[in-house]
Amino acid sequence: MLNFQFHNPVKIIFGKDAISKIGQEIPAGSRILITYGGGSIKHNGVLDQVLAALKEFEVHQFGGIEANPTFETLMQAVAQVKTQNIDFLLAVGGGSVIDGTKFIAAAALFDGDPWTIMEQWGAPIKQALPLGAVLTLAATGSEMNSGGVITRREWKVKRPFSHPLVFPKFAALDPATTLSLPPRQVSNGIVDSFVHITEQYLTYPVGGKVQDRLAEGLLLTLIEEGPKALTQPDDVDVRADLMWTSTLALNGLIGAGVPGDWSTHMIGHEITAAYGLDHAQTLAIVLPALLTVKKQDKREKLLQYAERVWGLREGSEEERIDRAIAATRSFFESLQVKTRLADYGIGAESVDHLVAQLIKNGMVKLGERRDVTPEVSRQVLQLCF
Ligand code: NZQ
Ligand code: ZN
């Protein structure tokens, strides 16, 4: 029997017109700062919907949070929060805006150097401003979790942090907001969600049958619906399934009580920090290589994955595992997400640098058994070409 605690305080408002309901979730009299990215919300009508829903409030705006949000930009928002006496943050965008806003929420009330928040996984914070989220990109699950990933531009360092105080109070998920996404971001979202699920599923069996079946159901949904989002880009029902899948993939539910292997993400973060690849592009490169290197340790779950997710029942165990890994790579490629470092013009000389950065960032005992040492990461990276 598994032992776990599952606590998720985020209220989800899902479906058509979800944005119109957010005013009811914010305390009356709040001075709100809307945070957003490069401006997509101005072109697709989302900002107008948000402003209409917040007519009763004093509202300010901070734009320019970049993909892979940087400490440098976020600290400008912190300054604005202080000068305008903001007491509620509303993130409107994808994972980068929501993650960045979590950091702003913590940094605005932090005593000392705010980068300290990033120096350990359970951030050393005692308070944070309340925040809500209006999601426009189905991918990260940030809308329903308490984590964020922040980049220090000057150091080329990308790190995760987490604290229960930065759970959003609510998240509005209207799948129609994702119809304006460019295909590359649609594909990125599918790959990111897929890898979040495998990182909580492809470890070793612990008797988490519910978690396993939930994970398999979410993976199958991505395999069935993901390609449709590219071939039927106006189909909002497809977007709805993808949006709910990506939220459930990383809100703690499928990971409750079971081991996790976040090494694909941690190695991927170094690739983004060093070479600027999209988050999901790095995952599509690293996951097939990691599964190949760790296939003995992950044998039982890989066989389960091969059978239940890819329907592979014929051939030796070795063949089924290899075919499941190949199917994973083909799925990513079918979404036009390349799966080799060389596809992005990155050569073998990158391996030494990436391993050195993993060591520098303390990513030296990754994986469900904490045995993905820098040497193992090196083997993984060498298979990424
Ligand atoms: O900045 P704007 O103009 O809004 O454009 C964005 C951005 O260029 C655009 N976009 C978003 N919604 C759109 C849209 N364009 C048109 N229509 C829309 N509806 O998409 C681009 C990418 O946005 P971004 O927020 O960067 O993407 P994503 O949601 O994939 O977030 C990636 C970030 O999340 C972190 C990643 O490391 C990365 O920094 N992650 C956060 C996690 C968490 N908090 O739990 C977990 C994830 O594993 C991930 O690591
Ligand atoms: Zn991710």
In tens, the pLDDT along 275-285 reads 999 999 999 99
The reply to whether 138 and 214 lie within a common domain is no
Paired residues of 134 in beta bridges: 92, 172
CATH number at residue 206: 1.20.1090.10
* Averaged pLDDT for residues 187-193: 98
Look at residue 19 in the predicted model and tell me its pLDDT.
Answer: 98
Mean pLDDT over the full length of the chain: 98
Q: Is residue 6 in a domain? A: no
Instruction: Indicate if the pLDDT at residue 52 is higher than 90.
Output: yes
Q: Is residue 32 in a domain? A: yes
**131: helix, coil or strand?**
strand
The reply to whether 148 and 190 lie within a common domain is no
Ligand 1 pocket test: pick from 185, 193, 243, 283 the residue with the most ligand atoms within 8 Å of its Cβ. 185
Q: Is residue 4 in a domain? A: no
Q: Is residue 2 in a domain? A: no
Q: Is residue 96 in a domain? A: yes
Tens of pLDDT, residue by residue over 297-327, are 999 999 999 999 999 999 999 999 999 999 9
Look at residue 123 in the predicted model and tell me its pLDDT.
Answer: 83
A 10 A CB-CB count for 349 gives 7
Instruction: Indicate if the pLDDT at residue 248 is higher than 80.
Output: yes
Q: Is residue 157 in a domain? A: yes
* Dist. CA 369–CA 336, nearest whole Å: 32
* Dist. CA 142–CA 305, nearest whole Å: 26
- Nearest-CA residue for atom 7 of ligand 1: 67
The reply to whether 222 and 99 lie within a common domain is no
Query: Among 148, 177, 206, where does a domain finish?
Result: 177
The reply to whether 301 and 354 lie within a common domain is yes
CA quadruple 152, 278, 256, 379: dihedral, nearest 10: -90
The reply to whether 253 and 350 lie within a common domain is yes
Q: Is residue 322 in a domain? A: yes
Query: Among 125, 153, 177, where does a domain finish?
Result: 177
Instruction: Indicate if the pLDDT at residue 121 is higher than 90.
Output: no
Tens of pLDDT, residue by residue over 124-182, are 999 999 999 999 999 999 999 999 999 999 999 999 999 999 999 999 999 999 999 99
Q: Is residue 36 in a domain? A: yes
Query: Among 130, 147, 177, where does a domain finish?
Result: 177
The pair of three-digit structure tokens given for residue 155, joined into one six-digit string: 């150091």
CATH number at residue 21: 3.40.50.1970
The reply to whether 195 and 63 lie within a common domain is no
* Dist. CA 215–CA 235, nearest whole Å: 24
Tens of pLDDT, residue by residue over 61-97, are 999 999 999 999 999 999 999 999 999 999 999 999 9
- The answer to whether residues 142 and 98 touch, using CB atoms and an 8 Å cutoff, is yes
Total of domains in the chain: 2
The reply to whether 145 and 223 lie within a common domain is no
The reply to whether 23 and 145 lie within a common domain is yes
The reply to whether 25 and 120 lie within a common domain is yes
The pair of three-digit structure tokens given for residue 322, joined into one six-digit string: 């290899």
Atom number in ligand 1 closest to CA 269: 37
Paired residues of 171 in beta bridges: 12, 133
User: b/e string for 94-116 if b means 16 or more Cβ within 10 A?
Assistant: bbbbbbbbbbbbbbbbbeeebbe
The reply to whether 270 and 292 lie within a common domain is yes
Look at residue 309 in the predicted model and tell me its pLDDT.
Answer: 99
Ligand 1 pocket test: pick from 34, 96, 134 the residue with the most ligand atoms within 8 Å of its Cβ. 96
The reply to whether 257 and 190 lie within a common domain is yes
Pocket of ligand 1 (CB under 6 A): 37-41, 44, 67-68, 93-97, 99, 136-137, 139-142, 145, 147-149, 177-178, 180-181, 185, 188, 192, 250, 265, 279
Domain, as residue range, for 259? 184-382
The reply to whether 108 and 144 lie within a common domain is yes
